[in-house]
Structure 1
Amino acid sequence: MRSEALLLYFTLLQMAGAAFPEDSEPITISHGNYTKHYPVFVGHRPGRNNTQRHKLDIQLIVITNRTLYIAARDHIYTVDIDTANTEEIFFNKKLTWKSRQPDVDTCRMKGKHKDECHNFIKVLLQQNDDTLFVCGTNAFNPSCRTYKTDTLDALGEEISGMARCPYDAKHANVALFADGKLYSATVTDFLAIDAVIYRSLGDSPTLRTVKHDSKWLKEPYFVQAVDYGDFIYFFFREIAMEYNSMGKVVFPRVARVCKNDRGGSQRVLEKQWTSFLKARLNCSIPGDSHFYFNILQAVTDVIRINGRDVVMATFSTPFNSIPGSAVCAYDMADIATAFTGRFKEQKSPESTWTPVPEEKVPKPRPGCCAATPSAEKYKVSNEFPDDTLNFIKMHPLMDEAVPSIANRPWFLKTMVRYRLTRIAVDSAAGPYRNYTIVFLGSERGIILKFLAKVSSGFLNDSLFLEELSIYSPEKCSIDGVDDKRIISMQIDSKSHSLFVAFTSCVVKVPLSRCERHGKCKKSCIASRDPYCGWVSEGACREITSTKWPFEQDVEQGNTDGLGDCQNSFVALNGHSTSSLSTVQPKDHPEPTDKRDPYIAVPSLTHESTGVIRESFQKGRDQMVPITLLAVAVVLAFIMGAVFSGIVVYCVCDHRRRHLELSARKKTKEAVNSRRGSMNSVTKLTGLFETQAKDGRPEAILAPLMHNGKTLIKAEEQQHLDLVALPTPESTPMQLRRKPSRASRDWERNQNLINACAKELVSWARLMS
């Protein structure tokens, strides 16, 4: 039902001329036939038999100390980022941590499938310079360990992973270390009923959210945790209690807790957060009725753009709706402002949620940190008065939502059949490190690359640079199953690489593809890629520093005065030109039987949205003009409609004739039946006339008696009453018997024989 409603909403907006933003088109598209040669990690060690494949079930990837850590099922792999790779990426070390057999047996006894009773690594953090903190599901009995960063040797004792790691690999969780303390958000029980935001380890007391209180958390899905200033921020989505009367409405949220929170008093909120507050994130298209993207998918760390600290997040439509995605950016100052606004409350279970009047808010302000200007006379949180603690316990939700920068999405994608679920940002792109490039990952293995354009310190526009299809079925497929969902993305600017994790493989993707433009200056400049520039050698190259001269125009992509190129791509941006000649990149080898037969050719589209495309055609000679194709489709539709109309007319006319013929036959049979009935009446009329002429009643009955003899004696005869005899009015209609087909054929043959016999007799007489 929601799908139809959303589709109707889009249609009405277009019919009414509303300014619903259209999807932008990429300047460059690279399909799988180009990206399939990128290096891929599939769990192999160098020098071993690499034909055997294992199900990795990758959960996350982390980059630290020039090492890529790949957390999977029962294993952690390490990869040296600086090692050059060609076709395949091999691991340097492998840590194996499998569940003990008693844990596996208990997991099976609880009704779980054997594939679920493994140790899925869900937490992998750098605790300090030489220590890794690792937690796994451990066959639905979560546990945590510490390891040395360089050797992966275990340190210390294994500890419980409850409230630090989920029980099920399908459950979302986030975790980070701040000031030596572990902040985690997950579920604490086997059935995933008790969701918690938890602090443990370190020298501070253990704290958690209020247990089983839907005002605090209602079936949350945790996405990200961020350390910023005096607070830890948690980004998640949950069922909105303020819209509980409308069913399960999901809202994106941001919550925060104070780092110096030590819990409440022994009377209120003991060993629980005293600073927990949450607010809604607003990512919507403005208008008379806002169109909201409520499913929070991914959030970046805090990045600095033009002197402002912001986070960027991807949102989507609900999963039972038509696909649609948006990217919104939030200023951390706006988030802080939302937490100083009014609180929201529900006075009774049946009443609506309303703002709390300011005069009813106690002092010090609930949710503030101890020893801050707003609560300077309280050194620790457990000294707060009971009024403040009781208020924050009953009112954790803020009334105002956090607005996105410019009060609208920074980027939209609504005309595709997939959702954007991951995001990675390079905030220091280009030779001058003054551009922000955003990579968006989808559930179909497609990556979108954008240039974030800023004005007066705010994100106000985006430039769609590139679309990449990077999933390789030949390398990543397991038992014929292709899981194209992107699990995680990590950028390493030093190696100019984007590591993209799927459940079965990790692909190393270059941040740019400057070599595709070859020796075509027009294509290189029009690409507007901050990573690429035209160098003095007469080629398009990746620009990593400003030591050597180069040319690029990221802001405008102006190609005036640059002619079309041969043996390379030609990129257009903002100018309509004549038809392009067939070109093929010089850097690419000619297709052979052993390689993909498809070649990359430029698009013939002359729109300002960009024209570098990969065509799935085996040559220029086989290309069909789009106008001719459109005319052919229209003519085929018209001819099909005319032919269908003729067929329908013939069928209807034939049926009409058949019905008329049947009606005529029925009428004729009815007339013949009436004639037969009148014949019987005529015979009876003659019978009455015989009675009148003879004058004796027995004369009438004589034909009806046996052998025509009178059975009534003369002396016993009485005058007979003829009232009971049939009359024309009481005589029933007799249906005329219809002779069978065999009798009709026999009668026809007899008539023919008799006619022939008569002709023979006449002929014989004439001859004599």
Structure 2
Amino acid sequence: MALTDRSSARPPLLLLVSCFLCAASSFPRDLQAISVLDESGDFPAFQSLLQDNRTRRLGLHFQGMTRVNRMLFITARDHVFAVNLTTAAEAFVPQMTLTWRAADVSKCAVRGKDGDECYNYIKVLVPRDDETLFVCGTNAFNPACRNYKTSTLEQVGSDLPGQARCPFESGQSNAGTFADGDFYSATVTDFLASDAVIYRSLGDGRPVLRTVKYDSKWLREPRFLHAVEYGRFVYFFLSEIAVEYTTLGKVVFSRVARVCKNDNGGSPRVLDKHWTSFLKARLNCSLPGESLFYFDVLQSLTGVLQINGRPAVLAVFTTQANSIPGSAVCAFYMDDVEEVFSGKFKEQRGGDSSWTAAPEDAVPRPRPGSCAGDGPAADFKSSVDFPDETLAFVKSFPLMDGAVPAVNRRPFYTRTASGSKLTQIAADVSAGPRKERAVVFLGSEDGRVAKVLVATLPHDTSGSRLLEDIDVYDPDKCDLGVREEDRRVLGLELDKEHHALFVAFGSCLVRVPLSRCGRHGACKRACLASRDPYCIWLRTGRCADTAPGFKAGFEQDIEGDHSNMAACAADISATSRDREMAADSAYGKPPPTAAAG
């Protein structure tokens, strides 16, 4: 059963403070890292085309990264870089580079925009099919899109308008994905960023559709995070100003919205050329107690993964900007999402500011938000045939009353008393030689990455563990400026096949190995006590990184008590450790030690 929204009507800061005080005895303490790594100099890094004086002077200005097969595509200002993941360990340099600069920056300057925005920031890079990438850029406040060959980055066809597919400036959020030949985008449609939209276009068999314009019940100052195709729907994950809490000021809630892929829009009378299936629900990432302690602001999330054998997404949340600083990692089962969308609708009663669940007898048939030809709407061939009552209801009440509960009804990991806020997440839900462990990597505002072994099962009493706290940002390689936000982790991309995590900052990307097991050398106690699923104790008497398919000739004990094992000499030099890691890595080759670029 989905959890209902149990927030009180008090301002968010007072609510969080009182909740913190009433639950102080049971409030989780921040986990202490088993291993802390403050030496980032050995990690390979990429800044930009350093041989290009203009690019070197302007910097990278990272916008995003997308993995397609064995290539990592990095979008930046005026450029797309393609890095071969197979060779990135030896030389972190692009194999292909696409340069796409704005054709006319004069119009951008005339509009009074800052000179730093009068470039082409590449905000969209989405595989269109097996051979084509769909790429869009801000183009000096005149968004444009192109198709490129994935294998060569050669342009295919002519330029396309970018409006409603790409934002106008680098700081604006967007999300997009292709599903059944249609491009589903979430961004802003105008120069002033006053019209946020979820939009479908580019398909051959479906009409162009959008959300209702300037309707705060549909979208209110959203920040779009992710779009994913799943089953009959496309889902959008976002945070926005909660329209149901307007009396308390601008309170941010996190949402999941969905639309049917076969939506054809409404009738000429109601929702013509607009979604008929758009619904949204709150994501509940909170600590249980007499009063729930909410982490309301969605920062980053994964695609659909398997958690406890069920499809789910993992996400990072933070608290409200004016509240106690804190971050949390929550997961959500997709069938719990579906259950909430099958539940009650939330409505505002007349001129009253209060929002309550709409009575069932007020919900028309077929059920608003249904997909034509399926379930409650099985008798309707197309959404254009829906009764006006159904269309009018979903236009006025797209918000669900229930909130999607987190897996196990609580976060997997929290950080409230120490460290900076978390910003990004990447997850390996089949870590270790037996592929039975879940490890999440969490980027933060201060340039560090936390590696957490998460306990996903409700009966797992061992709890989650903070395995490593890694300082990834290297000012010598990333051109540290005077701004503190330069250290903020902007993206994480997992390359499990090559045992690597790519960490993105505004000015550089850093390639970090998933583990550093060789540091434990010949100390079995330290190797096992690291509790790292990527570390194994070899019969040769050394600790090594496990490789895919490595099934025999090793020991690993994640839960065990290693305090009674023999202690090891603590004076192994870093050089010795590096040699041991090179000699005994299960990958059969030494890890990278020199930075490229």
TM-score, normalised relative to structure 1 = 0.71
Aligned match for 1:96, one of 96, 99, 103: 99
TM alignment of 1:47-58, pairs within 5 A:
54-58=58-62
TM alignment of 1:360-371, pairs within 5 A:
360-371=362-373
Q: Is the 8 A contact 1:198 1:209 kept in 2?
A: yes
Per the alignment, residue 41 of structure 2 pairs with: 36
Separation of aligned partners in 2, 1:6 and 1:583:
51
Structure-2 change in CA distance of 1:459 and 1:208 (3 Å): farther
Aligned match for 1:538, one of 541, 545, 553: 541
Per the alignment, residue 348 of structure 1 pairs with: 350
SS at match of 1:108: helix
Q: Is the 8 A contact 2:310 2:333 kept in 1?
A: yes
- Could you list the per-position Cα deviations for residues 582-630 of structure 1 after superposition, in whole angstroms to 9, with x for gaps in the alignment? 654463589xxxxxxxxxxxxxxxxxxxxxxxxxxxxxxxxxxxxxxxx
Per the alignment, residue 529 of structure 1 pairs with: 532
Structure-2 change in CA distance of 1:488 and 1:51 (3 Å): closer
Q: Is the 8 A contact 2:518 2:578 kept in 1?
A: no
Residues 1:553 and 2:557 are matched in the alignment: yes
Per the alignment, residue 295 of structure 2 pairs with: 293
Separation of aligned partners in 2, 1:253 and 1:475:
37
Q: Is the 8 A contact 1:62 1:68 kept in 2?
A: yes
Deviation of 1:336 after TM superposition, in Å, equals: 0.3
The code of the aligned residue for 1:541 comes to A
Deviation of 1:13 after TM superposition, in Å, equals: 3.8
The code of the aligned residue for 1:92 comes to Q
Separation of aligned partners in 2, 1:3 and 1:274:
33
Deviation of 1:243 after TM superposition, in Å, equals: 1.0
Separation of aligned partners in 1, 2:277 and 2:54:
53
Q: Is the 8 A contact 2:19 2:291 kept in 1?
A: no
Separation of aligned partners in 2, 1:296 and 1:456:
23
Separation of aligned partners in 2, 1:261 and 1:7:
40
Deviation of 1:459 after TM superposition, in Å, equals: 11
Per the alignment, residue 723 of structure 1 pairs with: none
SS at match of 2:394: helix
The code of the aligned residue for 2:553 comes to P
Q: Is the 8 A contact 2:433 2:551 kept in 1?
A: no
Separation of aligned partners in 1, 2:125 and 2:269:
37
Q: Is the 8 A contact 1:406 1:459 kept in 2?
A: no
Structure-2 change in CA distance of 1:52 and 1:307 (3 Å): closer
Deviation of 1:253 after TM superposition, in Å, equals: 0.8
Separation of aligned partners in 2, 1:145 and 1:459:
51
Separation of aligned partners in 2, 1:485 and 1:436:
25
- Could you list the per-position Cα deviations for residues 629-651 of structure 1 after superposition, in whole angstroms to 9, with x for gaps in the alignment? xxxxxxxxxxxxxxxxxxxxxxx
Residues 1:71 and 2:70 are matched in the alignment: no
Separation of aligned partners in 2, 1:24 and 1:588:
27
Structure-2 change in CA distance of 1:534 and 1:75 (3 Å): same
SS at match of 1:364: coil
The code of the aligned residue for 1:181 comes to D
TM alignment of 1:685-724, pairs within 5 A:
none
Structure-2 change in CA distance of 1:137 and 1:299 (3 Å): same
SS at match of 1:37: coil
Q: Is the 8 A contact 1:30 1:468 kept in 2?
A: yes
SS at match of 1:516: helix
Structure-2 change in CA distance of 1:521 and 1:370 (3 Å): same
Deviation of 1:212 after TM superposition, in Å, equals: 0.7
The code of the aligned residue for 1:113 comes to D
Aligned match for 1:498, one of 471, 487, 501: 501
Q: Is the 8 A contact 2:408 2:458 kept in 1?
A: no
TM alignment of 1:214-363, pairs within 5 A:
214-363=216-365
Separation of aligned partners in 2, 1:54 and 1:7:
42
Deviation of 1:53 after TM superposition, in Å, equals: 5.2
Aligned match for 1:467, one of 446, 453, 469: 469
TM alignment of 1:448-597, pairs within 5 A:
448-455=450-457, 461-478=463-480, 483-544=486-547, 545-554=549-558, 556-559=559-562, 561-567=564-570, 584-585=573-574, 587-588=576-577
SS at match of 1:89: coil
SS at match of 2:399: coil
Q: Name the structure with the higher strand share.
A: 2
SS at match of 2:527: helix
Gaps of 5+ in 2: 1-9, 580-597
SS at match of 1:399: strand
Q: Is the 8 A contact 2:412 2:464 kept in 1?
A: yes
Q: Is the 8 A contact 1:6 1:321 kept in 2?
A: no
The code of the aligned residue for 1:39 comes to P
Per the alignment, residue 423 of structure 2 pairs with: 421
Deviation of 1:284 after TM superposition, in Å, equals: 1.2
Q: Name the structure with the higher helix share.
A: 1
Structure-2 change in CA distance of 1:314 and 1:460 (3 Å): farther
SS at match of 1:107: helix
Q: Is the 8 A contact 1:188 1:196 kept in 2?
A: yes
Q: Is the 8 A contact 1:517 1:540 kept in 2?
A: yes
Per the alignment, residue 7 of structure 2 pairs with: none
Residues 1:378 and 2:408 are matched in the alignment: no
TM alignment of 1:187-202, pairs within 5 A:
187-202=188-203
Separation of aligned partners in 1, 2:155 and 2:573:
54
- Could you list the per-position Cα deviations for residues 397-453 of structure 1 after superposition, in whole angstroms to 9, with x for gaps in the alignment? 111111111211111100124111110011221112222111111111111111122
Deviation of 1:2 after TM superposition, in Å, equals: 8.3
Separation of aligned partners in 2, 1:458 and 1:311:
20
Residues 1:19 and 2:26 are matched in the alignment: yes
Deviation of 1:24 after TM superposition, in Å, equals: 1.2
Residues 1:62 and 2:69 are matched in the alignment: no
- Could you list the per-position Cα deviations for residues 239-270 of structure 1 after superposition, in whole angstroms to 9, with x for gaps in the alignment? 11111111111111111100111100111101
SS at match of 1:271: coil
Per the alignment, residue 668 of structure 1 pairs with: none
RMSD over aligned CA atoms reads 2.4
SS at match of 2:518: helix
Per the alignment, residue 144 of structure 2 pairs with: 143
Q: Is the 8 A contact 2:12 2:251 kept in 1?
A: no
Separation of aligned partners in 2, 1:319 and 1:140:
29
Q: Is the 8 A contact 1:223 1:236 kept in 2?
A: yes
SS at match of 1:432: coil
Separation of aligned partners in 1, 2:307 and 2:357:
34
Structure-2 change in CA distance of 1:51 and 1:391 (3 Å): closer
Deviation of 1:200 after TM superposition, in Å, equals: 0.6
Deviation of 1:45 after TM superposition, in Å, equals: 6.4
Per the alignment, residue 401 of structure 2 pairs with: 399
The code of the aligned residue for 1:121 comes to I
Per the alignment, residue 734 of structure 1 pairs with: none
Separation of aligned partners in 2, 1:269 and 1:354:
24
Q: Is the 8 A contact 1:214 1:241 kept in 2?
A: yes
- Structure with the greater alpha carbon radius of gyration: 1
The code of the aligned residue for 1:317 comes to T
Separation of aligned partners in 1, 2:573 and 2:515:
19
SS at match of 2:139: coil
Structure-2 change in CA distance of 1:4 and 1:244 (3 Å): closer
Q: Is the 8 A contact 2:127 2:133 kept in 1?
A: yes
Separation of aligned partners in 1, 2:496 and 2:89:
16
- Could you list the per-position Cα deviations for residues 461-497 of structure 1 after superposition, in whole angstroms to 9, with x for gaps in the alignment? 3222111110001110155656011111111111100
Separation of aligned partners in 2, 1:151 and 1:334:
42
Aligned match for 2:208, one of 206, 209, 214: 206
TM-score, normalised relative to structure 2 = 0.91
Per the alignment, residue 162 of structure 1 pairs with: 163
Separation of aligned partners in 1, 2:473 and 2:129:
34
- Could you list the per-position Cα deviations for residues 306-353 of structure 1 after superposition, in whole angstroms to 9, with x for gaps in the alignment? 211111111101223342101111111111000111111113233411
Structure-2 change in CA distance of 1:3 and 1:197 (3 Å): closer
Deviation of 1:6 after TM superposition, in Å, equals: 7.6
Separation of aligned partners in 1, 2:546 and 2:481:
41
Per the alignment, residue 134 of structure 1 pairs with: 135
Q: Is the 8 A contact 2:189 2:195 kept in 1?
A: yes
Deviation of 1:85 after TM superposition, in Å, equals: 3.9
Deviation of 1:557 after TM superposition, in Å, equals: 3.4
TM alignment of 1:115-134, pairs within 5 A:
115-134=116-135
Deviation of 1:294 after TM superposition, in Å, equals: 0.9
